[in-house]
């Protein structure tokens, strides 16, 4: 699986941790940003990941900012993107099972490195349940 990973400056520390955590199991395409010092605009990074996800150049997207809210708002502007902001394990599982979320947003200020690993393991390894949920997802698109 190819995963697109991006952050703004506020999310950079968690993004760097996530990259190290996932690089042995997945192909990670890093969209930036490059550091936590230079201020950047999160919508540009969300757009780059979402466009490649829509064009099937990647299979999932991971976006990180300070709270995760900005990235989730930016990502959900794109048709076919189902971005979810997760801060717990249940939301991670249900977002995949029920909503077939294809972008995970995390907040560096709100999620520890250890919790991000647990969320990622669940989110990346939970399958979409299908069934009655398909009609609901189609309604979103």
* Positions marked active-site: 65, 98
Alpha carbons 55 and 20: distance in angstroms, whole number = 26
Tokens of 9: 């400056």
Strands 60-65 and 2-7: parallel
- The greatest distance separating any two alpha carbons of the chain, rounded to the nearest whole angstrom, comes to 46
Q: How many Cα atoms within 13 Å fall on the side-chain side of residue 88? A: 3
Residues in the chain: 141
Cα 80 off chain centre by: 14
Alpha carbons 2 and 58: distance in angstroms, whole number = 5
């Amino acid at each position: 699986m190819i995963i697109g990973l991006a952050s703004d400056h506020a999310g950079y520390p968690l993004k760097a941790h996530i990259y190290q955590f996932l690089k042995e199991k997945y192909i990670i395409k890093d969209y930036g940003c490059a550091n936590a010092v230079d201020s950047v605009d999160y919508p540009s990074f969300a757009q780059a990941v979402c466009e490649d996800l829509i064009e099937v150049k990647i299979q999932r997207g991971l976006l990180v900012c300070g709270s995760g809210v900005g990235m989730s708002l930016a990502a959900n502007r794109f048709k076919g993107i189902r971005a979810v902001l997760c801060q717990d394990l249940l939301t991670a599982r249900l977002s995949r099972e029920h909503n077939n979320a294809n972008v995970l947003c995390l907040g560096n200020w709100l999620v520890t490195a250890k919790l991000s690993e647990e969320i990622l393991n669940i989110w990346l390894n939970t399958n979409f349940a299908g069934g009655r949920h398909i009609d609901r997802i189609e309604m979103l698109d």
